[in-house]
Amino acid sequence: MTIQKYAVPRSIEEATQLLAAENITMFAGGTDLMPQTKSGARKFKTVLMNLNRVHDLRGISLSKSEVRIGTLTTVTDILHHYALRTAAGILPEVANAFASGQIRNAATLGGNVCNASPAGDMIIPLLLLDAEVELTSWKNSAISTRRIALHEFFIGPGKTRLGANELLTFIHFRIPEEGFVARFEKFGTRPALDISIVSVGIAGTREHGGLRNARVAFGAVAPIPMRGHAVEHAIDEGSLTAERIKDISRLAEQEITPIDDIRATAWYRKEITRTYTERMLHDICAARN
Amino acid sequence: MTSVQHEINFTLNGKPVTVSVALHWNALTLLREGLGLTGTKYGCGEGECGACTILVDGVSVNSCLMFAVDCDGREITTIEGIATEAGLNMLQGEFVKQWAVQCGFCSPGMIMQGMYLIKNNPRISKDEIKRGIEGNLCRCTGYSKIIDAIAETLHDEEVRS
Amino acid sequence: MSIFEKETLIGKRIAKLDAPQKTTGEARYLHDITLPGMLVGRILRTDRTHARIVSIDTSAAKALRGVHAVITAADTPNIPLGHGKDNPPLKGDKVRCIRDEIAAVAAETEEIAEEALKLIKVEYEDLPPVFTPAEALKEGAPVIHDSHADNIPFSFDYSHGDIAIGEAESDIIVQDTFKLHFVTHCCMGVSGLIASFDHDGNLTLHSQTQIPFLYKKDLSPVIDVAPEKIRVIQPPIGGGFGSKLDIYPFEPICIFLARASRRPVKLIFSREEEFIASPTRQPVELTIRTGVKNDGTLIFREVHTLHDNGGYTSWGATTPFVIMQTISSLYRVPHCRYHTTVVYTNNPYSGSFRGYGNLQATFAVETHMDKLAEMLGKDPLSFRLQNAQQAGETTPQGMHFKTCGFHDCLTTAATQSSFVEKHERYRTQQNGPIRLGVGIASLLHVGGGAKIYRTDGCGTILKIDDFGKVIVMTGSTDIGQGAETVIAQFVAEELGLPMSAITVINNDSEITPWDVGVHASRTTFIAGNSAKRAAYKARQKLLMAAGEMYNLDPETLDLRSRHIVHSESGESIVEIGKLIRSLHFRDKSEIVLTSEYYEPPSVMQDRGFKGDVSASYAFGTQVVEVEVDIETGIVRVLNVTAAHDVGRVINRQGIEGQIEGGVAMGIGYAITEHLIVENGIVKNPCFRDYKLITAPEIPKLDMTFIETHDPEGPAGAKGIGEAPSICISAAIANAVYNATGIRFHELPLSPEHVLRRLKSERNETLSTR
């Protein structure tokens, strides 16, 4: 027997207690777990835990300064959330390019983050927003939480700093300031149903002729969804002239470390990264918001 | 793979159901093998083709990705559950009328996704319909008449009301 | 007295007969059928591409609880099957490609079957593999089948005219090599079979075969069951497209499991298995030399095709025959020489796939037509018109074009799409990263079957019961295209009945008469004619009976809306059911029962491959408008304008559906689909990485049907099933040339492929911002 027991917690407390006590495989939408266990890439542990009845973990709440998204919030929830469009429009925009309608209805933000694919679509905009993950566990008979900046959360393909007994409960980010602008491009021949070959996210706050506090993130071109620090510094350095944009996009090409696989070669991924970075920076300059 | 069985209770096409499922089963296996409802199809088992689309609490999902045990306490609607007492519902009728069915293998999944799209956005445009069925593969029709069928249903419903 | 007007169903929009049950989940496909006591069958496939099998140990699998049978080659007659009879169902001595079937189990559940497969131990001695025809042809290359030491199971030649004369007469000669790739059918319903024996050794198969009668004949020696003891039941099929035209190893394997376990066995592929083990479209390396005169007259084509036959022979090896037809006869070509070499490798093997070699051939021919037009300083349309055949012509290969809408297709597609004007504009006036282009291509394909066997016929039995209900038993198979609906239309038309009075039975070999199978776009034409003639016989019987009973001249009578009527006035004489009951319940009792075996007036090709092989030929032209992003290589098809010579439109929606579906499939072939086979292994056996066209990607499609009223076709119709996929990849490549100045000789035009060429050519006509 592989799976021997089934658990359905109804609260965060119950969920973390179970995680502390048992050998658990947990599921929410199942959109990554089901194919992975079927193929044998992942093995079930002795207890299967269904997280979907912990209703406290689903939902988007906004305060004056912060957004908090529960781990069970689906990609469709994000796509349709009205207030999020004004507060951090890049998130619903990326949700619109995610997989398919059926998968958006089931896939959760927490699942996408914890699956930690280097191509994880929803991770890129969260990196642009300087998101933090809240990790909760049951320690010494009490709930214990800690936060990690998302850009420090990933350590390798499919690997994060999530502890064995920890549950990712919420994702937090500060509502971006006035003048914040963000763009996301995912390479593909389809509007959504494409596994990322390359994805590029660029954000920052408008300043005369350019951006300050630039945030740049790349997907599917490194072992983890990565921040492009060199590109960020280059953007911050001055206004975005056509010549500087060309140089910055070449820097992007050099900063990433893509591999060859059946979807694309490293050469092609570099070409697309450079081209998209250039186009997106031009687009930011030309647009008003 | 083997695993322990677990009994679940849920509403299936409007009727209460109690059934025992293996913990590692997906909802597709529950429907087809556990309950003998073969209208929902296996197309790929990986959430890439949409042939297995069902409604869970009114929301469309790929049943091949959903854990069977997660059906517990939910309202599940399959292709077998949408016809009316009078016969085919409006969307099914349009699929027939518009020649949106050729081999028909993708049709249950397309129709369930169509039901969700129409319910969710009664003003949906043809371009939005195309995006709406982007997760449903069809090898026969080239999609054109399927899009027409969904669009015509909206028109029928408008005319009706 | 009721009056009935003459009405026709031909050309109308009529719903598909089986559509309602397919919208409710009631239609039971093969995958949905369970028989009492049924077991699950699974196949253990090899993980090697070329190896000697040293040993197979099935003892642990046999001992597993819930396993009812485990078989290997040693347990079976081991007679090779397939078009080339070189493919033993289970492999006992040697493995030749990644599909090879080593063992099979029948177990109580899928999980137990999977577990049992894992317990089978196989020992191999690896052999050096070859993965290209060129490698396989080298001196000293590993021998794949001992029967062919040179790895060449087939090669042949065709010629008409005299190439030497052709070369001498040509002012311009162009040569290129085209490489066409592996793609696969991706039927939404995966492959499978249900086999069950009764106590007397009678075998019932629930099968997705496209050739129910040839199937019985071909299976019989392999499974050692007399053909008359085999019954083939055909549930609705989840797509065919040619994938089920041959016998494949999984079929006898399933039957052997049923025999060994003495239970019904259902063997269904997983999707991954479908990608790996289902036959592909034939990859081809095609070298072509075309010669033309300065005045634009085409003079000669010389072609050599090299076929990767994979580890075993299936119908892919016969695609040279279809390729040959396009090389010899698409446009007027006075001189032609054609050689083909089919070569074994350790790659997966190919079968038949909608278009059957014609996509590959047309890609080459129509790219050359475009190239030559440019070199001659002519526009692509007028160059083609100059060389396009007209009605009444017979090609040197012997194809007689009784009707020919070629010119109309060219001019219609070009006019509707403003092709000439756009082609010129896009050629010269573009800048920026997004470039537009238009391209044109035409096709020639059989439209009335193909006489590859001595008979290309179809049988129909028709009965009308005492209540006016018609049952049409046709040997033809419906693979989802709507053939049964068209057959019902012909019968309804002939008998003056509504569609609701007609039931078509086409799915049980115990009931239906012989038909060769659904391929070569033959079903509307041949099965249609067969049904029409059987209905005509019934019509005559009814009119004669009415004439006799009511003392009227049958020539003045007609059948309309379930009544016998006076033709001129439309006045009813008697309702059909009443007439039939009168005919039946009387002293000289008769029932209405007719039959017809229709053989099309085509001929088999002679030893020189010449002959009028089809009863009719279909033409079409497609103009494609594309958008190319020259910085990413992404090619988007914006519009397709199609004009097809279909003889006559029988069911408007049905024919539109064929064009829409065929165009999507053709765009996939040209741009997005690629079954990546590296070192004999399929690297992308999943929809995530094998890209079918999805709904947001479909172009705007404008279709015109040219009706040339084929004299032999039922109501004038020609076959259309394959045509829409055939020329679109050439049109797309020609459009990409128009947009970028780059000629592509390899498919698919994936973004990376296109960008690499764009970067390496560094064409001056391209300037970025």
pLDDT in tens, C323-367: 999 999 999 999 999 999 999 999 999 999 999 999 999 999 999
Strand ranges of the sheet holding C335-344, from the earlier edge strand across to the other edge: C154-160, C335-344, C298-310, C284-292, C172-180
- Summarize the confidence of residues C49-58 as an average pLDDT: 98
- B75 and B105 share a domain? no
Determine the Cα angle at C443 with ends C368 and C211, to 5°.
130
What was the pLDDT predicted at C587?
85
Confidence of residue A289 (pLDDT cuts 50, 70, 90): low
Structure tokens at C28: 């039971």
CA distance B161 to A265: 54
Looking at the predicted structure, is the pLDDT value of residue C181 above 90? yes
Residue after which a domain boundary falls, among B52, B80, B108: B80
Q: Is B85 inside a domain boundary?
A: no
Pairing status of strand C67-72 against strand A210-219: unpaired
Strand ranges of the sheet holding A24-27, from the earlier edge strand across to the other edge: A5-7, A47-50, A24-27
What was the pLDDT predicted at B155?
83
- Whether C684 contacts C277, CB under 8 Å: no
Q: Where are the domains of chain C?
A: 19-26+457-598, 33-127+190-237+244-277, 284-450+606-761
Bridge partners, residue A48, by sequence:
A6, A25
Give the one of C664, C686, C698 whose C-beta lies nearest to B46's C-beta.
Answer: C686
The string of pLDDT tens digits covering residues C405-458 is 999 999 999 999 999 999 999 999 788 999 999 999 999 999 999 999 999 999
Looking at the predicted structure, is the pLDDT value of residue B144 above 60? yes
- B96 and B64 share a domain? no
Give the Å distances, CA to CA, from C126 to C73, C95, C277, C680: 19, 9, 21, 14
- B74 and B98 share a domain? no
| A274 contacts in chain C (CB < 8 Å) | none
Question: Which B residues 45-64 touch C at CB under 8 Å?
Answer: 45-46, 48-49, 51
Domain with CATH 3.30.465.10 in chain A: 57-174
Q: The tokens 């060309």 sit on which residue? A: A246
- Summarize the confidence of residues B155-159 as an average pLDDT: 80
What CATH number did the domain enclosing B123 receive? 1.10.150.120
- Whether C645 contacts C619, CB under 8 Å: yes
Residue after which a domain boundary falls, among B45, B80, B115: B80
| Rounded (10°) CA dihedral B85, B89, B90, B93 | -110
Looking at the predicted structure, is the pLDDT value of residue C763 above 70? no
CA distance B12 to C43: 35
Looking at the predicted structure, is the pLDDT value of residue C764 above 70? no
What CATH number did the domain enclosing B17 receive? 3.10.20.30
- B54 and B106 share a domain? no
A and C: number of Cβ contacts within 8 A = 34
Pairing status of strand C557-560 against strand C230-233: unpaired
Three-state SS string over C587-636 comes to: CCCCCEEEEEEECCCCCCCCCCCCCCCCCCEEEEEEEEEEEEECCCCCEE
Mean pLDDT of chain C: 96
- B96 and B60 share a domain? no
Domain with CATH 3.30.43 in chain A: 5-50
CA distance B54 to B113: 8
b/e code C575-602 from CB counts within 10 Å (16+ = b): ebbebbeebeeeeeeeebebbbbbbbeb
CA distance C718 to C704: 15
Best mutation target, B23, B69, B76, to test chain A (most A CBs within 10 A) = B23
Q: Is B35 inside a domain boundary?
A: yes
Is ipTM strictly over 0.95? Answer: yes
Looking at the predicted structure, is the pLDDT value of residue B115 above 60? yes
CATH code that applies to domain C284-450+606-761: 3.30.365.10
Query: Could you tell me the fold of the domain covering C19-26+457-598?
Result: Aldehyde Oxidoreductase; domain 4 (3.30.365)
- B46 and B101 share a domain? no
Q: Say if the Cβ atoms of C24 and B40 lie within 8 Å.
A: no
Architecture of the CATH domain A180-286: 2-Layer Sandwich (3.30)
Residue after which a domain boundary falls, among B80, B98, B113: B80
Q: Say if the Cβ atoms of B26 and A34 lie within 8 Å.
A: yes
Q: Say if the Cβ atoms of B70 and A76 lie within 8 Å.
A: no
Looking at the predicted structure, is the pLDDT value of residue C592 above 80? yes
The string of pLDDT tens digits covering residues C471-494 is 999 999 999 989 999 999 999 999
Q: Give me the percent of chain A exceeding a pLDDT of 90.
A: 94
Looking at the predicted structure, is the pLDDT value of residue A276 above 80? yes
Is C19 near chain B, with CB under 8 Å?
A: yes
Number of domains present in the structure of chain B: 2
Backbone angles phi, psi at C205, to 5 degrees: -115, 130
Give the one of C34, C481, C661 whose C-beta lies nearest to B142's C-beta.
Answer: C661
Looking at the predicted structure, is the pLDDT value of residue C769 above 60? no
Ramachandran quadrant class, C396 (left: phi over 0; alpha: psi -120 to 50; beta: rest): alpha
| Rounded (10°) CA dihedral A146, A151, A153, A155 | -160
Best mutation target, B6, B49, B70, to test chain A (most A CBs within 10 A) = B70
Bridge partners, residue A181, by sequence:
A204
Confidence of residue C766 (pLDDT cuts 50, 70, 90): very low
The residue type at A251 = L
Q: Do domains C19-26+457-598 and C284-450+606-761 have the same CATH topology?
A: yes
pTM: 0.97
- Summarize the confidence of residues C73-82 as an average pLDDT: 94
Closest by CA position to C455, among listed C582, C615, C564: C615
Q: Say if the Cβ atoms of C687 and B78 lie within 8 Å.
A: no
Bridge partners, residue A200, by sequence:
A185, A218
Query: Could you tell me the fold of the domain covering C33-127+190-237+244-277?
Result: Aldehyde Oxidoreductase; domain 3 (3.90.1170)
The residue type at C36 = P
Residue range(s) defining the domain that contains residue B98: 90-160
Looking at the predicted structure, is the pLDDT value of residue C133 above 90? yes
Confidence of residue C614 (pLDDT cuts 50, 70, 90): very high
* Non-local CB neighbours of B78 within 8 Å, separated by 6+ positions: B12, B13, B31, B37, B39, B40, B54, B55, B108, B112, C25
What was the pLDDT predicted at C35?
97
Give the length of chain B: 161
What was the pLDDT predicted at B161?
67
How far C616 CA sits from the closest chain A CA (Å)?
Answer: 39
Looking at the predicted structure, is the pLDDT value of residue A2 above 90? no
Looking at the predicted structure, is the pLDDT value of residue C376 above 50? yes
Q: Chain-centre distance of CA C207, in angstroms? A: 18
Domain with CATH 3.30.390.50 in chain A: 180-286
How far B157 CA sits from the closest chain A CA (Å)?
Answer: 23
CATH code that applies to domain A5-50: 3.30.43
What was the pLDDT predicted at C317?
96
Kindly identify which residue of chain B lies nearest to residue A194, measuring between CA atoms: B48
The string of pLDDT tens digits covering residues C303-322 is 999 999 999 999 999 999 99
3-state secondary structure of C161: coil
The residue type at C373 = A
- Whether C478 contacts C721, CB under 8 Å: no
Looking at the predicted structure, is the pLDDT value of residue B136 above 90? yes
- B76 and B104 share a domain? no
Looking at the predicted structure, is the pLDDT value of residue C767 above 60? no
Kindly identify which residue of chain C lies nearest to residue A246, measuring between CA atoms: C769
The string of pLDDT tens digits covering residues C527-562 is 999 999 999 999 999 999 999 999 999 999 999 999
Q: Say if the Cβ atoms of B136 and C695 lie within 8 Å.
A: yes
Q: The tokens 């629930």 sit on which residue? A: C206
- Whether C583 contacts C545, CB under 8 Å: yes
Is A102 near chain B, with CB under 8 Å?
A: yes
Ramachandran quadrant class, C714 (left: phi over 0; alpha: psi -120 to 50; beta: rest): beta
- B96 and B118 share a domain? yes
- B72 and B124 share a domain? no
Architecture of the CATH domain A57-174: 2-Layer Sandwich (3.30)
Q: Say if the Cβ atoms of B67 and A35 lie within 8 Å.
A: no
- B75 and B94 share a domain? no
